[in-house]
Structure 1
Amino acid sequence: MAGKGKLTDAPVEFVKEGVQFVRKCRKPTQKEYAQLIRAVGMGFVMMGIVGYLIKLIHIPIRYLIV
C-alpha cells in the first residue's frame, strides 16, 4: 500500500505542532490582560445593545402582524 504512512503521519504531525505551539505560548502581562478584558467587555456590551435594539424593533412588528 502506497498510502500506509500517511494515516500515521497525521497524528504525529498534530502532536509535533501542538508541542511547538505550547512552547511558544507565554503568560500575558498585566497590561495585555487588562486590554483583553476591556475588549471582551466591550464586545459583551455591544452584543447586548444589538440584542436590545433587535428586541425593540421586533416587539411592535410582532403586534402589527398578529
Structure 2
Amino acid sequence: MDQVSAVTEPLIQFTKSSIHFFHRCTKPDRKEFKKNVIATAVGFLAMGVLGYIIKLVFVPLNSIIVGG
C-alpha cells in the first residue's frame, strides 16, 4: 500500500496544482491579444525575410563554389 501511495500522491498533488493554476489564469483582453498577434506576425515576417536573404546570398555562392 505504501508503494501505491508513493505513486499516487505526487499525481494528486500535481492535479490539484494544475487545477489551481488554470483557475487563476485569465483570457487576454482585446488589446493584449492584438499586441500578441502583432508581435507574432512581426516575428514570422522577420524570420521570412532573414531566410530569404540567406537563400538569396548562398544559392549563387554555392553555385559558384560547386561550379554547376
The TM-score normalised by the length of structure 2 is 0.79
Structure 1 segments (4+ residues) deviating >4 Å: none
Question: Could you say which residue in structure 1 is the equivalent of 2:47?
Answer: 47
Name stretches of at least 5 consecutive residues in structure 1 with no aligned partner: none
The whole-number CA distance in structure 1 between the counterparts of 2:16 and 2:6 is 15
Question: Could you say which residue in structure 2 is the equivalent of 1:24?
Answer: 24
Give how far 1:26 is off: 0.9
Query: Counterpart amino acid of 2:10?
Result: A
Which is greater in Rg?
Answer: 2
Q: CA RMSD in A?
A: 1.8
Question: Could you say which residue in structure 1 is the equivalent of 2:37?
Answer: 37
Q: Percent identity?
A: 35
